[in-house]
Amino acid sequence: MSPRRVVVVGSSGAVGRELLALLAARGVPPDRVVALRRRAADGAVPLDGFPFAPDDLALFCAGAEVSRREVPRALAAGARVIDLSSAFRRDETVPLVVPEVNGDALDGADRLVAGPNCTATLLCVALAPLERAFGLERVVVATYQAVSGAGARAIDELRRQTRAALDDAPLRPEVFPEPIAFNVFSHESALDPATGRNDEEEKVIRETRRLLGRPDLPIACTCMRVPVERAHTEAVDVTLRRPASEDEVRAVLGAAPGISLVDDRAAARFPTPRLAGGRDDVLVGRIRRSTGDPAGIQLVVCGDQLRKGAATNALAIMDRWPPAAPPADAPGPPA
């Protein structure tokens, strides 16, 4: 049974706009899609007081503060919720799901599912086949993250600053702590002075462990922000539990769901943000042996942060999630 309505909360943001475009591309009738934002504009409905219904599926992409306030209201009305913010990712009672990685977690899900951090999502799509086939002993990852992860205003800032830089005009950061045009810097999330890790790195480590079902997996992570619009790149070095050849690794990754292998050494063709942009799969390539480590494999992962990192993953959850009956005391749909 499909939901009577798909409600997109945060429809004016980068992920919200992507969700609406993907739903339209799927042929979902416009009268079954409700676009919510804080203020009514551009055909959107205001969020405040919106009457959620028991047979709604609500896709929340408006940030953790809005989710913490509005998700309980949607659940109380009997709606099912896929939340793409960080609001519920640390709640062990709420499934954290990437269908290609741990889709079976949806079988016991009630009415709330969380989508992971986009960087962890892309990473785990590539790591999960290796974990299943060979086991993982250790993961080291450096990420080069597109500005879209910071929202639509960050994309505008990159474009504006790039034009200004080419004109030798002043660069005035508003979204980021320093200019993003022609620059690379550590991810802008809060830094823990005790560990030296920022919040993005902690999320990637914590959520990767949870998605893979490996709570003690050693992971080292460095997250950087780069002047790219919407596709993240990750350089990954793994130690396998059972050593495998490069060809064995290629065969496993090439057959895995959600992955496209881009690994042509002769043509020097490997994953790039431009290749990954606008695609729903994760590109994996540059597969090679780690120097001096018979169980070590290096690879590059690239994926569209707005699509597979968020919107496409939400729709994949929607497709995979068996619908549950609404609670007996839930109100009916609005007239």
| Residues carrying an active site annotation | 118, 232
> How long is the chain?
335
Cα gap 160→125, rounded to integer Å: 33
Distance CA(73)–CA(63), nearest Å, equals 16
- Cα 301 from chain centroid? 14
Tell me the CA distances in angstroms from 73 to 50, 57, 78, 79, 332, one per residue in order.
Answer: 10, 13, 9, 9, 14
174 touches 161 (CB < 8 A): no
Residues 77, 51: contact at Cβ < 8 Å? yes
Between CA 31 and CA 55 the distance in angstroms is 14
DSSP 264: B
